[in-house]
Structure 1
Amino acid sequence: MFQKTTISACTLLALLALGCTDHSIEQPGNENPASFSEVAQIDLGGAAASEISAYDPTTKRLFNVNNEATAIVDVLDLSSFPAIKKLQPINVSALGGVANSVAVSDGKLAIALEATNKQQNGSVILINTSTLTQIKQVTVGALPDMVTFSPDGKYIVTANEGEPNADYTVDPEGSVSIINVQDNYNVKTLSFGGFAGSYMQLAANGFRIYGPKATFAQDVEPEYVAISENSKKAFVTLQENNGIAEVDLENGVILKINPLGTKDYNLAANAIDPSDRDNKVALAQWPVKSFFLPDAVSYFSVNGAGYLITANEGDAREYAAFDEQARVSSLKLDASAFPNAVSLKLPENIGRLRVTSTLGDTDNDGDYDVLYGFGGRGFSIYNAETGQSVYDSGKSLEEEVIKANIYDDDRSDDKGVEPEGVTIGWMNNSPVAFIALERVDAIAVYDVRNPMAPKFLQMIKTGDAPEGILFISADKSPNGKAMLVSSNEGDGTVKFYQTI
């Protein structure tokens, strides 16, 4: 059974050739997004053998980043799915350091490869998906952590994290690189130095610049990229900085930075379990504000309006020369702000909770007046045009994990379930969100037809530590059914799920 609508915005030719995400094409209309179950898997090795994947519908090949021993991209033939055939991998170790990400468009595979010295500029390797021969190697910024194509195939965009070295003596600028495929892969790399003058205003709304002796441009660390359906704008998470940058792809300009503020764990709707030493799983209110610090981001539209959905993992800076983390029990708390400080510091309360030591002494008197944590323990949805939050999952995501009896209390003092990956898939002409939860080895599935009120559908168990999740629509899938792919960093497996 099919739901038939007319093609708009993109011609059918462009849709087939360039992968434009126009969801008005004819799609299967009887798939139940609450009924995903595992139908196949493949083991590619141990830890770090399976991280991020991309699929080419023409060759029916899945490309998967594997850094267990050396920098390679595994090539999996899905043409006889559920049978999976492992082909000769693509070895890129001679071209740089670690491979971080892959993306596919129009017969081209893009591989984000950091330099052997990852503080130096990295590159994007372009491979023909059929012949597996190299097309081009393009220099981008330092430590390209994520790569993606625009829906129309015109641009390749990388988020260049620009992390410092261990002793924090070399700190490259974080940047975004835009590669114009149609202009002989001409590249333009954008840095964030132009926003330094706006820092006080950004900081007042929750944006962070705090690395030792770092300039604004050095401190910004782009993590992940989502691109609008019309291929005109990119939205880049700046994870450690707690913001999202908006980039004009056509003109090659960073338009603005949206600071994300904090999540108040003292509100009942945002309750958390902050202790791994209380011998129970119990969500409660605590006097902590936590930075969202999103990792992955995905773009989708509903009724003509664009939205961004973020996985609010949280990430602290932890280096040999600089570690911002501190347990609440080790901090001197202001007596007025925390009259019950002695009780709070107990390990069964928030004494074990990790917070940042870089903020919170608002009056500079040597004690902490506010406690700031890491991550949102859930996901958020923002209006892409205005940057305004329209929804946050509050405590509800962790409640679903607890109901499924898979919550890991050992991670309560850190960042809880740690939502890391997120993608949007279209099923029955409706958007469905998939959120990968690193610390409970699961994917949460939500109906997001109403971005202001997502509806929980299902919790899917994965391999150990799902890093990348990929949705393959029914019209591109090797067997004509929508497919969800989980690349699991902890155990090196790739798992495949389809609806019943």
Structure 2
Amino acid sequence: MNCKKLFGAILIASLAFAACKKDSTDDPIVDPPVEAVVPEKIDSFKETAFIDLGGEFASEISAYDPLTKRLFVVSNDGGTKVDIVDMSKYPTITKLQTLTFAVNAGINSVAVNNGLLAIALNGANPQGNGDVVVLKTSTLEEVKKITVGAMPDMVTFSPDGNYILSANEGEPNDAYTVDPKGTVSIINIKDNYSVKTLDFSAFESQKATLIAGGFRIYGLNASFTQDIEPEYIAVSSDSKKAYVTLQENNGVAEVDIVAGSITKINPLGTRDISQAENAFDVSDKDSKKVLGTWPIKAFYLPDAISYFTTGGNAYLALANEGDTRAWKGYDEEVRVKSLTLDPVKFPNAASLKLDENLGRLTISKAFGDTDGDGDYDELYATGGRSLSIINANTGALVANIGKDLEQRVIDAGKYDDDRSDNKGVEVEGVTVAQVNGQTLAFIGMERVDMIAVYDVTTPGSPKFVQLFSTGDAPEGLLFVKPKDSPNGRSLLIVSNEADGTVRFYQPDKI
């Protein structure tokens, strides 16, 4: 026997086995490039500039271009528009011009990367295919117009600038007679903006397992793929994976960007409001603002999502706003007092159904009759009223900022008790960023017009940092790193839907 040949064969086999073993596991977490820490006081964010762009819906989502120092703001105030704002002389903010898209039925999102602006537009018919229009940020010249799925609700670039991703919500019409598929589009910039639009049909065989984990499939006469409604996207630091919230469905999908496939759906389960750490204020008619425990569960139903890494692990922050299907053709919303409750599961039903108790709480009538006998054995509220942190790879819950968040708003005298029977503070937006070397989660609360800041450097133990007021109904949160900021300091940009303002916040220097 030739020993050299045998040794060589063994060595090759060993290397091949090692390569296969590596390929069979998830790639190592790639942290973003380390940047110089700007010394800033993390609990000192305050408003340093603002601009008023019009009435309601004049300021929804914003994207900032560090190359031109321009801000691009989504506006549905009297048309389908993007307002362009000059920030080059910050804190002086000036509106430059407005782009209009008369053919499209609405605008949902904008994103910027490397001198390109991507704009997500509904089609002329909202239930038909939408468009992503790409412009140069410097000249506003159109580069490409790409057809995507129905109702592209959020658009974003991969960090490496090679891809544009669109979450196509595919909402039904008001009569619920037309319900498009929910899809995710991947646009390959390097391949002349070729597009691949993915649906969720491959997961229909997992329907029973997903539902058992808290996933919601229940739309009127809807197939599995029609019922799924992608909402918001976050992309991993290495640009290989995307994570998409499926808000009405109470889940998060994982997308392999390079392969162009949806690889996983993580159902999010529920919050148990009978547990002290999950306490809610459930009534707007009890003349008090007190968080308490109740025999109900709550679907998380996240809107915005933010990807971040710390300690060599990847996480997702989820803004659990809550949402329902409330259309003329089908409405899942109902108040507890109008339901028949199972007398065994709810022996004190009469008391619970009082307005000052659970009576006015909005829940979903689509869930809870577990034995099909016409009365409700469980009650499911329509929103987590919290910021969740989950492991990006496994979907496991790492932390939930809910009770502490709402209690701090109550203590600050800012809690809107009129919303207690619905979504509480209504956690709408989140962005996670580094400030002074710490990892901070900025949490936008639409119904109390505030931002909360938590230190999530140790994700399992979030620490409260700051609470400050915004404009009316903060919708979009955008963080600009010091190296990209017009004045070299961290910058949080908040687009406020109800009053049409964009407000700018910065921390003090140390």
TM-score surpassing 0.5?
A: yes
Aligned match of 1:379: 387
Distance 1:269 1:314 in 2: 19
- In structure 1, the residue corresponding to 2:358 is in which secondary structure? coil
2:121 and 2:111 map into 1 onto residues whose CA distance is: 12
Q: Distance in 2 between matches of 1:269 and 1:73?
A: 42
Match 1:68 to one of 54, 77, 83: 77
Match of 1:492 in 2: 500
**C-alpha contact (below 8 Å) 1:23/1:426 kept by paired residues:** no
Counterpart CA distance in 2 for 1:54 and 1:491 is 19
Q: Aligned partners of 2:136, 2:259: CA distance in 1, in Å?
A: 28
Describe the superposition over 1:147-202 as per-residue Cα deviations: whole angstroms up to 9, x where unpaired.
00000001100000000001111000000000001100000000001111110000
Q: Which letter maps to 2:36? A: E
What secondary structure, in the 3-state scheme, does the structure 2 residue paired with 1:348 have? helix
Q: What's 2:118 paired with? A: 110
> What is the SS of the residue equivalent to 1:256?
strand
**Superposition map of 1:417-496 within 5 A:** 417-496=425-504
Q: CA deviation at 1:214?
A: 0.2
Residue deviations 1:294-325 (CA, integer Å, cap 9, x gap): 00000000122100000000001000010000
Kept in 2: contact 1:81–1:479 (CA 8 A):
yes
Shift, 1:394, TM fit? 3.5
Give 1:92 deviation, angstroms.
Answer: 2.0
Pairing partner for 2:49 from 33, 40, 53: 40
Q: Matched residues in 2 for 1:54 and 1:438: separation?
A: 19
CA offsets, 1:380-429, max 9 Å, x none?
A: 00110111111111411101111111000000000101101100121123
Task: Give the Cα–Cα distance (whole angstroms) in 2 for the partners of residues 135 and 442 of structure 1.
Answer: 38
Q: Which residue of 2 aligns with 1:287?
A: 295
Secondary structure of 1:350's aligned partner = helix
Q: Helix, strand or coil for the counterpart of 1:64? A: strand
Whole-Å Cα distance in 2 between the matches of residues 383 and 293 of structure 1?
17
Is the 8 Å Cα contact of residues 110 and 155 (structure 2) preserved in structure 1? yes
Residues 21 and 68 from structure 1, CA distance in 2 versus in 1: closer, same or farther, beyond 3 angstroms?
farther
Which amino acid in the other structure matches residue 251 of structure 2? G
Q: Residues 10-49 of structure 1: CA distance to partner in whole angstroms, max 9, x if unpaired?
A: xxxxxxxxxx982412231x11121000111111011000
Tell me, yes or no, if the aligned pair for 2:31 and 2:312 is still in contact at 8 Å: no
Q: Distance in 2 between the 1:315 and 1:109 partners?
A: 29
- Does residue 22 of the first structure (1) align with residue 32 of the second (2)? yes
- Residue 123 of structure 1 corresponds to which residue in structure 2? 131
Q: Is the 8 A contact 2:90 2:486 kept in 1?
A: yes
Aligned-pair CA distance for 1:67: 0.7
| Cα deviations by residue, 1:346-399 (Å, 9 ceiling, x for unpaired) | 000010000000111111111000001111111100110111111111411101
Question: Match for residue 303 of structure 1?
Answer: 311
Q: Which amino acid aligns with 1:225?
A: I
Question: In structure 2, what is the Cα distance between the partners aligned to 1:447 and 1:242?
Answer: 26
Q: Does 1:90 align with 2:103?
A: no
What whole-Å deviation, never above 9, does each CA across 1:441-498 have from its counterpart, x for those lacking one? 0111111100001111111100000000100111100011111111000000000011
1:123·1:138 contact (CA, 8 Å) conserved in 2? yes
1:55 to 54, 64, 83: 64
Deviation at 1:93, TM superposition (A): 2.3
Is residue 327 of structure 2 the alignment partner of residue 326 of structure 1? no
SS in 1 for 2:105: coil
Supply the distance in 2 between the matched residues of 1:327 and 1:36 (Cα, whole angstroms): 39
Q: What CA RMSD, in Å, does the superposition of the two structures yield over aligned residues?
A: 0.9
Partners of 1:311 and 1:76 lie apart in 2 by 27
- Does residue 260 (structure 1) correspond to residue 246 (structure 2)? The answer is no
CA distance in 1: counterparts of 2:35 and 2:267, whole angstroms: 36
Q: What is the distance in 2 between the residues matched to 1:338 and 1:418? A: 28
Q: Which runs of 5+ in 2 are unaligned?
A: 1-29
CA separation in 2, counterparts of 1:186 and 1:260?
Answer: 33
Q: Which residue of 2 aligns with 1:217?
A: 225
8 Å CA contact 1:178–1:189 kept in 2: the answer is yes
Provide Cα deviations, 1:240-280, integer angstroms capped at 9, x if missing partner. 00000000000000001000000011001111110000111
Separation (CA, whole Å) in 2 of partners of 1:34 and 1:355: 36
Q: Does 1:339 align with 2:347?
A: yes
Map of 1:148 onto structure 2: 156
Question: Match for residue 5 of structure 1?
Answer: none
Of 216, 219, 222, the residue aligned with 1:208 is 216
Q: Which amino acid aligns with 1:106?
A: N
Distance 2:137 2:35 in 1: 25
Matches within 5 A, 1:171-250: 171-250=179-258
Cα distance in structure 2, aligned partners of 1:85 and 1:487: 15
Aligned equivalent of 1:79 = 88
Q: Distance in 2 between matches of 1:247 and 1:423?
A: 20
Query: Any conservation in 2 of the 1:62–1:77 contact (CA below 8 Å)?
Result: yes
How far did 1:132 drift?
A: 1.1
CA distance in 2, matches of 1:139, 1:423: 28
SS of aligned partner of 1:79: strand
Whether the 8 Å CA contact 1:21–1:151 is kept in 2: the answer is no
Amino acid at match of 2:71: L
**Letter of the structure 2 residue corresponding to residue 148 of structure 1:** T
Amino acid paired to 2:423: K
SS in 2 for 1:402: helix
AA at the equivalent of 2:81: I
- In the superposition, the TM-score normalised over structure 1's length comes to 0.95
Any unmatched runs of 5+ in structure 1? 1-19
**1:307–1:381: 8 Å Cα contact kept in structure 2?**
yes
Amino acid at match of 1:42: I
Listed one character per residue, the Cα deviations across residues 111-153 of structure 1 (whole Å, up to 9, x for unaligned) are 0001121100001010100001111100000000000000000
Rounded Cα–Cα distance in structure 2 between residues aligned with 1:102 and 1:108: 10
Q: What is the distance in 1 between the residues matched to 2:44 and 2:113?
A: 29
**Matches of 1:376 and 1:359, distance apart in 2:** 16
